[in-house]
Amino acid sequence: MPATIFDSLVFRDIFTTEAMRAVFSDENRVQKYLDFEAALARAEAGLGLIPKDAAAEIVTHCSVGKMDFAKLKEATEKIGAPVLPVTKQLTALCKDRHGEWVHWGATTQDVTDTATVLQIKEALALVETEIDAICDALAVLAKKYRDTPMAGRSKLQQAVPVTFGYKMATLLAAFGRHKQRLAELRPRVLVGEFGGAAGTLSSLGKDGLKVQAALMQELGLGVPDITWHTVRDGFAEVGCFLGLVTGSCGKIALDVKLLMQTEVGEVSEPAGEGRGSSSTMPQKRNPISSVYITAQTAIVKQYVATLLEAQVEDHERGTGPWEIEWIVLPEIFMLAAGALKQTRTILEGIEVNEKRMRENLDITNGLIMSEAVMMGLGQAMGRDTAHHRVSDIGKQAAKTGQPLIDLLADDTEIAKYADRRKLEELMDPANYLGVAGEMVDRVLAARKK
């Protein structure tokens, strides 16, 4: 009976994806063990270290469909690691004693680590696909709303105007950096493991490095400079990368939740039959995807910290920290996949209320334009003088509810430097967007490159 959200018939496609679950399934993991054994046999046969007919026989049986999982479970519980039970079954499947050449010169951790790297390779391809889709959606929004003014917010308070396109472009730039990080980490992380008992490949004598290179070529992985049995920075790095990616997803989710508030109402998650409905309040339209993302990213952060703990391993083969990775690395990837999927759902279907954005720029009766007025007057009055004067008048506007423009226009001191027409020009949000548009263009241009 399914017990976790990843296997639950109800929750599994909310918190992760079918594709990512398949990558870290028992079947795929065991197949990766067998892929290692087949590649090792081919590499060693090619170097003349084991008979070619033995290698051919071994490769014939390196299919997960030939494994008895009930026996694998029972043997793994006794032995404490899952590879030896696989190699024993593989050996038994081979005829004419060819099975004696299975796993030649390897150790359990070589197989396990390399299989995990192969899983990571598949998983990162899925992550990249989602990042690309998110970038596409953000680019569309940044371009479409390049010049759509809205309130920029500082410490949850209205600050100065920005544009919705600018807001989207800041996120697009972040996901562009994630693409760069992914490209940079792949050569460091997608490196196989083959070192033998204590990492020195002593079981293969002088042929160890030749076998290692041939094995990695067979598997399509990088060749390690040196064995990394208990030096786990590669797996830690990929975990941290996913922490960064999901952190950006969490940022999007938080902003969407805040902008969906009734009192704000500037964006909404995608609509759908019954989506976000309340069991008792008919008028409600709740955030859905952003709520899931918040939960997913919070857990990923904690798992990343746990994964970092797995770096602290003893001597040349560890006693426990290694197994931490077995638990948290698949879950980090699965939660990240779910967060990316939910983020993509939001961005591809987000509903933008431009009218409400414009209305919200006016709810302070012009106070959001205080800096614009201060900077405009400061050229003639001096910045500090203008700051104090606009601040005092702004407090009066906030207290009385009078429009800031009226109080500014009635002030005799300010009248010396700006008439009402000039003040209205200063207080038009469209005139105080700085270089937001140019920044959006720059991000979009960088994406095309």
Share of the chain above pLDDT 70, in %: 99
CATH level 3 topology of 367-426: Ribonucleotide Reductase Protein R1; domain 1 (1.10.40)
Residue 394 has pLDDT above 90, yes or no: no
Which residues in the chain are classed under CATH 1.10.40.30? 367-426
Q: How far apart are CA 81 and CA 218, in angstroms?
A: 25
CB neighbour class for 276 (10 Å; exposed up to 12, middle 13-18, buried from 19):
middle
Please say if 317 is a catalytic residue: yes
- Position 93 scores a pLDDT of 96
Mean of all residue pLDDT scores within the chain: 94
Question: Given the structure tokens 């007919």, which residue do they identify?
Answer: 53
pLDDT at 320 over 90: no
Q: What is the pLDDT of residue 277?
A: 66
pLDDT tens figures, 200-210: 999 999 999 99
Instruction: Give residue-wise pLDDT tens across range 92-125.
Output: 999 999 999 999 999 999 999 999 999 999 999 9
Residue 387: is its pLDDT beyond 70? yes
Best CA proximity match to 38, nearest among 111, 116, 130, 133: 111
380 — pLDDT class (breaks 50, 70, 90): confident
Q: What is the pLDDT of residues 216-225, one digit of tens each?
A: 999 999 999 9
At 2-16, the pLDDT tens digits run 888 888 889 888 899
Quick one: what percent of the chain has pLDDT higher than 90? 82
For residue 181, indicate whether it is catalytic: no
Instruction: Return the number of other C-beta atoms located less than 10 Å from residue 167's C-beta.
Output: 23
The rounded distance, in Å, linking the Cα atoms of 151 and 314 is 54
pLDDT of residue 377: 85
| Region(s) of the chain under CATH 1.20.200.10 | 108-154+161-193+228-353+434-449
pLDDT greater than 80 at residue 365: yes
Q: Is the pLDDT of residue 283 over 80?
A: no
Question: What is the distance between the alpha carbons of residues 330 and 339, in angstroms, rounded to a whole number?
Answer: 14
Confidence of residue 272 (pLDDT cuts 50, 70, 90): confident
Find the mean pLDDT for residues 443-448.
93
Pairing of strands 267-268, 157-163: unpaired
Phi, psi of 8, deg, nearest 5:
-60, 135
Any idea how long the chain is?
449
Confidence of residue 413 (pLDDT cuts 50, 70, 90): confident
Rounded-to-5 percentages of helix, strand, coil across the chain:
65, 5, 30
pLDDT for the residue 36: 98
CATH class of 108-154+161-193+228-353+434-449: mainly alpha
- CB-side exposure of 369: number of CA atoms within 13 Å? 25
Q: Summarize pLDDT for 164-202 with one digit per residue, the tens.
A: 999 999 999 999 999 999 999 999 999 999 999 999 999
Q: How far is CA 144 from CA 51, 139, 181, 217, 352, in A?
A: 64, 8, 27, 46, 11
Provide the pLDDT for residue 276: 66
- pLDDT average, residue stretch 23-44: 98
Within 8 A by CB and 6+ apart from 12, the residues are 2, 5, 6, 18, 21
Return the closest-CA partner of residue 195 out of 40, 51, 31, 24.
Answer: 40
Q: Which of 278, 391, 420, 442 is catalytic?
A: 278
Catalytic residue, chosen from 186, 317, 356, 358, is 317
In the block, tokens 């026996």 appear at 71
pTM above 0.85, yes or no: yes
User: What pLDDT is attached to residue 278?
Assistant: 67
Q: Mean pLDDT across the stretch 429-448?
A: 95
